[in-house]
Amino acid sequence: MDEIYIKVHGKWMYLYRAVTKDGDTIDFYLSPTRNTKAAKRFLGKALSRLKDWEKPRVINTDKAGCYEAAIPLLMKEGKLPEETEHRQIKYLNNVIEADHGKLKRLIKPTLGFKSSKTAYTTIKGFEVMRTLKKGEAKAFQIQPGS
């Protein structure tokens, strides 16, 4: 997990993102604040989409205090397994840092966004296109007669 700054309507906002150890995008969240509440909301949203057996054994973050406070709160609520290890080691976060660079190259030509809604929608489109390009999307077949 990590966050980057993006400009929305002339103000800096935080784009929280989570990826797997292979670089596959799990989820993202756009927030005007970088605090425990925003980190908890993002992580709770990302975890709610996962089945119990898909929940992480290890979460790597930078040394931001918001994660340090949010993760125990989610464990207490039962949304995150108690045995989940939280590692705040700078270099273990390199997978997402590299992924941020690729996303920033797509965002930079937009010269900022006019509203949070357009920022969220555009970033969602970027993430979908990057998911398809990386081959993360599951192929499906249309059954005859459906």
Question: pLDDT digit string (tens) for 52-88?
Answer: 888 889 998 888 888 999 999 999 999 999 999 999 8
The whole model's pTM is what?
0.79
Q: Which CATH superfamily is domain 2-134 in?
A: Ribonuclease H-like superfamily/Ribonuclease H (3.30.420.10)
pLDDT band at 142 (very low <50, low <70, confident <90, very high): very low
pLDDT in tens, 98-119: 777 788 888 888 777 888 898 8
What DSSP assignment string belongs to 7-55? EETTEEEEEEEEE-TT--EEEEEEES--SHHHHHHHHHHHHHTS-GGGS
What residues does each domain of the chain span?
A: 2-134
Q: Count Cα neighbours of 51 within 13 Å in the Cβ-side half-sphere.
A: 2
CB-neighbour burial class of residue 1 (10 A; exposed 0-12, middle 13-18, buried 19+): buried
Residue with tokens 């190259």: 105
pLDDT digits (tens, 9 = 90+) for 9-30: 888 999 998 888 887 788 889 9
